[in-house]
Structure 1
Amino acid sequence: MKTIKLLPLLLLYLVVSCGSVHVNTDYDKAVDFTQYKTYAYYKTGIDKVEISDLDKKRILRSIDEAMLAKGFTKTDTPDLLININAKSEKNVNMNQFYAGYGYGWGFGWSPYWGGGTSLTTSTDGILTIDLIDAKKKELIWQGEGSGYLTKDTNEKDENIKEFVTKILAQYPPDVKK
């Protein structure tokens, strides 16, 4: 009976963990993040990112939404410059299995003895968002998100929005002085 009650929780965990974005951040502990109120994009850096222009637009649109929700203003004379970098990594997983005795696993005498190999591939994306002090031209905060990438055009907007939202949820850092 306990197994039946735990099954929905296990399924929820699997769905959340498979679709989640893992985030890491780093920042300059000497910086007062309350001084930053405006932002713009670091065009030179963004132009160098080797992803499609459509995906760049998706990322920048999601960053705009997140920054505006935090109370920032986009301007030509910013406090912060935002740069991005994106890359993907292909993962190949190989599973070997052996069937043996009877209908189970292992070795033994059986007409059903055999085995095989299965290969699965997936693509993980890594999105890095850099926040640069516009006056000093120094990196003050960096957030990196990694997770599963979808190739389905209908899901790309939500996938990219999830990456950006989870990364920028960590900004500004909770600096204790």
Structure 2
Amino acid sequence: MRLLSRVVPVLVGLGLASCAGVDVGTSYDPAAVERIEGFRTYAWLSQPQKSQDSRINNAITDAQVKEAVDRDLQERGYRKVEANPDFLIGWQGAIDTRLSEESVDSYYGYPWDPFWGSFYGPYGGGQTYLRQYDVGTLILDVVDAKQKTLVWRGTAQTDLGDSPSIQSTGNKLDDGVKKMLERFPPKPEKPD
């Protein structure tokens, strides 16, 4: 019984971690879709407001984000320039700590049985496990360089786990950037 009570939290944690993907969302200015389609060159915006979190506000993270975005955009034919870009791109990030609660009964989803009831007692001996984990959010903004207006925003959010490593975080960052930029440039909405 003791072994089982030690193994269940680990299995629940692994199950939750394996389901964690990157959630992506985008929004854009519908009036700017034609302008965005004409964009071919870009430059980086300076970081607007530095996060107080040293896990985000550091040269390594800045380089990782810019490298992932540059690689994806350049593979798709965009060119980074120093002067007169069509659009400017910037990024922001955050890491939030969250708690999740998972209740597991001793029957693991099977109905109560008098044979097992005597082993577990009359109430089944369920347990509740708390898990503390970090959720990372990355925001990419595309600004029309001539009009100085935000025309597209992508967000990616993922569970970083309870002790994220640089390698796993870097892989999730690359995955988030790729999924976000798959939706850039936006496709015009078709009328119903």
Please give the range of the TM-score, normalised by the shorter of the 2 chains: 0.7 to 0.9
TM-score, normalised relative to structure 2: 0.72
Q: Given the alignment, which residue of 128, 142, 152 partners 2:153? A: 142
1:132-171 maps to which residues of 2 (within 5 A)?
Answer: 132-149=143-160, 151-171=164-184
Q: Which of 41, 47, 50 is the aligned partner of 1:48? A: 50
**Match in the other structure for 1:9:** none
Contact 1:98–1:106 (CA under 8 A) maintained in structure 2 = no
Tell me what 1:27 maps to. Answer: 28
Q: Percent identity?
A: 28
Q: 1:95 aligns with which of 91, 99, 102?
A: 102
Residue ranges of structure 2 left out of the alignment (5+ in a row): 1-14
How far does residue 122 in structure 1 lie from its aligned partner after superposition? 2.3
Aligned equivalent of 1:174: 187
Structure 2 letter corresponding to 1:136:
Q
Kindly provide the amino acid, as one letter, of the partner of residue 53 in structure 1: A
Aligned length in residues: 161
Say if 1:160 and 1:43 are closer, same or farther in 2 by CA, change over 3 A. same
Matched, 1:82 2:89: yes
Asked if the contact 1:88/1:123 (under 8 Å) is kept, the reply is: yes
Check 1:158–1:95 CA distance in 2 against 1; reply closer, same or farther (3 A cut).
closer
Tell me the TM-score normalised to structure 1 length.
0.77
CA shift at 1:97, angstroms? 4.0
1:58 aligned partner: 64
Pairwise CA RMSD: 2.9
SS at match of 1:92: strand
State the one-letter code of the partner of 1:42. L
1:118 positional shift: 1.1
Write the distance in 1 (CA, Å) between the matches of 2:150 and 2:94.
20
Deviations 1:97-130 (A, max 9, x none): 4548xx9659996352334321112222111100
Change (3 A) 1:156 1:109: closer
Task: Look up the match of 2:8.
Answer: none
